């Protein structure tokens, strides 16, 4: 990488402009300058290359097969049918004929070549969706629980999340000049929240709606846990300092769960968020990028210090945290009746990849549904999709399309397969050490006979695969997780709960498939024999002492 630091690149970027315009015009290479590769993230895109053919291209003395990934900013993962059709058309025309639902309720396009990057960005914006701040050292796409029990709570939390996402956007015209050909200004706009250097690192926010923790609220830098009284959201418990990423062999990096620091009313949400963000801006570690996330700022300085810093900046004290209960962090598949008689259909999307294959025509099927659907779509944090707000008269039509295109088919037959997450990993992710998305069907095929043998096919278990320790599928909250170490080799992590409130523990290091299956077999046998009631696999492993609790686990405070 270049000698110039990310901090300098940001500071010298003229509000995120860099030399992106010039780089896009340069047809001699499919790549951008290194500094622009940093800056383009803030615009919602990453330069990648096709890793399956990297070596072949090198031998042919060709530059790597560069292309760009583009990520949307879709707070709460909501899109209309009209938007869906436009995104589908973009995936088909400019990308690799797939729409990828991410673990943060966004869409990703893969395989967009540089000469079509601008047209693709314009097409996305023509769908009234932008990509600004979907990546980069700023507040990213804001998540919202997509599986509400109470529909009015969902609408309120979504409105608050969308307002927050807007409030924390970088204040730059660069995005509009570069991608949408809007009039150029000199740069140097006032950036009141982020300042010239933006945040030390990425920043993530989620809104959870108890009793479902589908967003894994404690995995985020900042969380808002809806407190519902009399059917209305009266405010939120605020959690800070969660994060998943770590680096193999570097004890200075580790996953941590967020801690609840108090209660804020709905009116206080923006002030609290701004106080948390600016405290991290001013105190986050800018010297060591691997230690730059808010979780380390808090771990180094203490939660009490951080809470008072936030209150000082916000100008008010947080209230005492209020009671809440999370029951699970999974999605609820199939039809669910809303309060208003409208229904919502949650469909499984294995590893979030909507594409046409021999097994299911997910891209085509969803396109056909979008053509007739009058409600909206919600992406879930578990990489699935909800066809939301369906009147009774439309249900049969949607059911027929679901059946015709195999949209209700998961990656396997077990409850474990239905709840599985897998990050993208190879071939596009530049950081992948092992397969994840592409390995999921094979691993499920290996583990399902084992589950069947022990009578556990119907028992929900959270399986999470990540191609490296960065943890994009939030693997450290998996009851069973595989974290990539090398091709075909993983760290096997066990013992998280199914509510997103306990981290798992390293159980076997750097093992292949056979050793993973061998390690799980006796644990499944014991679990099947000794399970107490509806106890989860992770809870059982910790209770029985078969797996030791993660020493970094901070008890998630349910009530202050």
| C-beta closer to ligand SRM: residue 15 or 424 | 424
Q: Is 135 a catalytic residue?
A: no
Question: Which residue has 């009147």 as its token pair?
Answer: 391
- The answer to whether residues 432 and 467 touch, using CB atoms and an 8 Å cutoff, is yes
Q: Which does 103 bind (CB under 5 to 8 A by kind): ligand SF4, ligand SRM, none?
A: ligand SRM
* Residue 425 Cβ vs ligand SF4, minimum distance, rounded to whole Å: 4
Tokens of 38: 């940093």
Tokens of 362: 């997910």
- Helix orientation angle between 303-314 and 269-283, rounded to the nearest 10 degrees: 120
| C-beta closer to ligand SF4: residue 288 or 431 | 431
Tokens of 305: 């210090």
Give the residue at shortest CB distance from ligand SRM: 245
Binding of ligand SF4 by 103 (CB under 6 A): no
Binding of ligand SF4 by 467 (CB under 6 A): yes
Binding of ligand SF4 by 482 (CB under 6 A): no
Binding of ligand SF4 by 436 (CB under 6 A): yes
* Residue 230 Cβ vs ligand SRM, minimum distance, rounded to whole Å: 31
Q: Is 472 a catalytic residue?
A: yes
Q: Which does 344 bind (CB under 5 to 8 A by kind): ligand SRM, ligand SF4, none?
A: none
DSSP β-bridge partners for residue 508: 492
| C-beta closer to ligand SRM: residue 107 or 263 | 107
- The answer to whether residues 513 and 345 touch, using CB atoms and an 8 Å cutoff, is no
| C-beta closer to ligand SRM: residue 86 or 204 | 204
Pairing type for strands 66-71 and 78-79 reads unpaired
* Residue 145 Cβ vs ligand SRM, minimum distance, rounded to whole Å: 13
Q: Which does 468 bind (CB under 5 to 8 A by kind): ligand SF4, ligand SRM, none?
A: ligand SF4
H-only helix segments in 127-196: 151-167, 174-180
Binding of ligand SF4 by 424 (CB under 6 A): yes
* Residue 543 Cβ vs ligand SRM, minimum distance, rounded to whole Å: 27
E-strand ranges in 458-514 read: 463-466, 480-486, 489-494, 505-511
Catalytic residue among 353, 378, 472, 499: 472
Give the residue at shortest CB distance from ligand SF4: 467
| C-beta closer to ligand SRM: residue 246 or 364 | 246
- The answer to whether residues 397 and 372 touch, using CB atoms and an 8 Å cutoff, is yes
Q: Is 526 a catalytic residue?
A: no
Tokens of 483: 């974290």
By the 10 Å C-beta count (0-12 exposed, 13-18 middle, 19+ buried), 555 is classed as exposed
Binding of ligand SF4 by 468 (CB under 6 A): yes
By the 10 Å C-beta count (0-12 exposed, 13-18 middle, 19+ buried), 408 is classed as middle
Residue 133 neighbours by CB under 8 Å, 6+ apart: 42, 44, 73, 139, 140, 168, 169, 170
> Which DSSP symbol is given to 82?
H
Binding of ligand SF4 by 425 (CB under 6 A): yes
| C-beta closer to ligand SF4: residue 171 or 510 | 510
| C-beta closer to ligand SRM: residue 108 or 172 | 108
Tokens of 471: 């943890």
Q: Which does 245 bind (CB under 5 to 8 A by kind): ligand SF4, ligand SRM, none?
A: ligand SRM
User: What does the alpha-carbon distance between residue 429 and residue 431 come to, in Å, rounded to a whole number?
Assistant: 5
User: What does the alpha-carbon distance between residue 128 and residue 147 come to, in Å, rounded to a whole number?
Assistant: 24
* Residue 207 Cβ vs ligand SRM, minimum distance, rounded to whole Å: 13
- The answer to whether residues 121 and 109 touch, using CB atoms and an 8 Å cutoff, is no
Catalytic residue among 41, 71, 362, 502: 71
H-only helix segments in 205-260: none
* Binder of ligand SF4 out of 432, 447, 493, 523 (CB under 6 A): 432
Binding of ligand SF4 by 548 (CB under 6 A): no
Which spans of this chain sit near ligand SRM (rule: CB under 6 A)?
46, 48, 69, 71, 102-104, 106, 108, 140-141, 202, 204, 219, 243-245, 293, 352, 423-424, 428-431, 470-474
- Give the C-alpha distances (Å, rounded to integers) separating 380 from 118, 141, 345, 377: 28, 13, 12, 10
Known catalytic residues are 71, 140, 202, 204, 423, 429, 468, 472
Return residues touching ligand SF4 (CB under 6 A): 423-425, 429, 431-432, 436, 466-468, 470-472
């Amino acid at each position: 990488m270049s000698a110039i630091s990310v901090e300098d690149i940001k500071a010298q970027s003229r509000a995120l402009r860099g030399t992106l315009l010039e780089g896009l015009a340069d047809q001699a290479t499919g790549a951008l300058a290194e500094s622009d590769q940093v800056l383009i993230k803030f615009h919602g895109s990453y330069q990648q290359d096709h890793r399956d053919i990297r070596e072949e291209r090198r031998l042919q003395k060709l530059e790597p097969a560069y292309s760009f990934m583009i990520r949307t900013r879709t707070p709460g993962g909501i899109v209309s049918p009209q938007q869906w059709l436009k995104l589908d058309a973009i995936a088909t025309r400019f990308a690799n004929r797939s729409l990828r639902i991410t673990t943060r309720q966004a869409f990703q396009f893969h395989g967009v070549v540089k000469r079509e990057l601008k047209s693709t960005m314009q097409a996305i914006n023509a769908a009234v969706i932008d990509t600004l701040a979907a990546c980069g050292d700023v507040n990213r796409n804001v998540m919202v629980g997509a599986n509400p029990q109470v529909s009015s709570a969902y609408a309120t939390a979504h409105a608050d999340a969308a307002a927050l996402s807007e409030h924390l956007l970088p204040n730059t015209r660069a995005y509009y000049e570069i991608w949408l050909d809007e009039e150029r200004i000199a740069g140097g706009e006032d950036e009141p929240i982020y300042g010239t250097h933006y945040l030390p690192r990425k920043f993530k926010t989620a809104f959870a709606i108890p009793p479902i923790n589908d967003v894994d609220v404690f995995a985020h830098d900042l969380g808002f846990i809806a407190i519902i009284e009399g059917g209305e959201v009266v405010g939120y418990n605020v959690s800070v300092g969660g994060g998943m990423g770590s680096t193999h062999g570097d004890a200075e990096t580790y996953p941590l769960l967020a801690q609840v620091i108090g209660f804020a009313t709905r009116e206080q949400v923006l002030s609290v968020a701004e106080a948390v963000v600016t405290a991290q801006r001013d105190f986050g570690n800018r010297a060591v990028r691997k230690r730059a996330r808010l979780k380390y700022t808090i771990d180094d300085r203490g939660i009490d210090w951080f809470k008072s810093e936030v209150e000082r900046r916000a100008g008010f004290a947080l209230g005492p945290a209020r009671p809440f209960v999370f029951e699970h962090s999974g999605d609820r598949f199939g039809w669910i009746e809303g309060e208003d008689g409208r229904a919502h259909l949650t469909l499984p999307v294995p590893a979030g990849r909507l594409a046409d294959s021999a097994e299911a025509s997910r891209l085509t099927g969803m396109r056909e549904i979008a053509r007739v659907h009058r409600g909206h779509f919600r992406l879930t944090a578990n990489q699935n999709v909800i066809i939301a707000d369906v009147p009774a008269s439309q249900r049969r039509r949607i059911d027929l399309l679901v059946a015709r295109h195999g949209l209700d088919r998961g990656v396997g037959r077990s409850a474990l397969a239905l709840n599985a997450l897998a990050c993208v990993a190879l071939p596009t992710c530049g950081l992948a050490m092992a397969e994840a998305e592409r390995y999921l069907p094979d691993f499920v095929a290996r583990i399902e006979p084992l589950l069947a043998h022990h009578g556990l096919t119907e028992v929900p278990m959270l399986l999470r695969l990540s191609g490296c320790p960065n943890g994009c599928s939030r693997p450290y909250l998996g009851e069973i997780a595989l974290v990539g170490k090398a091709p075909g080799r993983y760290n096997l992590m066990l013992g998280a709960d199914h509510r997103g409130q306990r981290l798992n523990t390293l159980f076997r290091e750097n093992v292949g498939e056979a050793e993973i299956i061998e390690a799980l077999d006796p644990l499944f046998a014991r679990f099947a024999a000794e399970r107490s009631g509806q106890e989860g696999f992770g809870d059982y492993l910790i209770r029985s002492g078969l797996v030791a609790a993660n020493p970094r686990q901070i008890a998630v405070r349910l009530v202050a």
